[in-house]
Amino acid sequence: MSREQRAKIDAMLRTARPEGPQPVEEIRSGFEAMMATMIVPDGIRTTTVALGSRRTLLVEPRGRSPHAGTILYFHGGGFVYGSPETALSLTGNLVARTGLRAFSPDYRLAPEHPFPAAIDDALAAYRGLLDAGEDPSSLVFAGDSAGGGLTVTTCLAARAAGVPLPAAIVAFSPGLDGTRSGESMDTKAGLDPFFTRESLAHTGAMHLAGQDPNQELISPALHADLTGFPPMLLQVGTNEVLLDDSTRMAARAREAGVDVILDVTAEVPHVFQAFAGVLDEADQALDRAALFLTQHLGTAGTPAASVS
């Protein structure tokens, strides 16, 4: 672990954080510019495909057939910004470390498409993989931030629709409480270099469009019935205002009899895994996530089925 690495990233994020609410176009362009500086691993190739009627980025190991098993990856961005491309350092690292392929759908964003558009698109992408012949036992959901929340809410939507659940869930710094009522919203306010309560309220209002956040598809850490859920890995940093989204979800999972790993790393920011290659803790966390995936999918086997 490197205190110097963590300090540099903290300073960079604080410098990049704008003062006051920004127009959505500026939020999107600023986030895209920041994420373009992240290191994307060698040894992967990307292709644009259609999945569930949405443009989707297919990420595969370069120079070899992917192992049996597929990651459905949901990018972060508060349901307002971000894209499959902004999450490529994360998706690419999971693919490079596991040999699995990943599909990352470009789900619709607020304010143009508020709740529940993202969940609808995520479920449609999952159905698309199942319709193409994928076995749910060979599929895992992964995602970061808002996309980490989608790993849970898409499972809830799938279960409600009678669709079988995936083999496992991996969530990096997931957003799981639209009410923003966790104690860490206040106790970590000065430590979090990325989010403030005000910035989350600004984008949250776009996503909710007046809907009550006290419902399981918006605040699953408070209201979701997780009975029958697949094993979950929740990774989060101690310097996050969203820390308690993960701690409360882990407690809820345990109460429901779900296998859950709450993986907390000290003194790192929101979605610290994106800093792979420059932050030791990021690479270590991604190694743990890759191990979790391979344990629950079993990566030996025939190449995955074709989806176009």
Catalytic site positions: 145, 240, 270
Cα dihedral sign, 33-145-307-58 = positive
Which secondary structure element, helix H or strand E, spans residue 93, and what is its range? Answer: helix 88-98
Q: What is the distance between the alpha carbons of residues 170 and 246, in angstroms, rounded to a whole number?
A: 12
Q: 300 exposed, middle or buried (CB, 10 Å; 0-12, 13-18, 19+)? A: exposed
Phi-psi region of 176 (alpha: psi -120 to 50; beta: other; left: phi over 0): alpha
In b/e form, how buried is each residue of 123-150, taking b as 16+ CB within 10 angstroms? Answer: bbbbebbbeeebebbbbbbbbbbbbbbb
Residues contacting 295, CB < 8 A, separation 6+: none
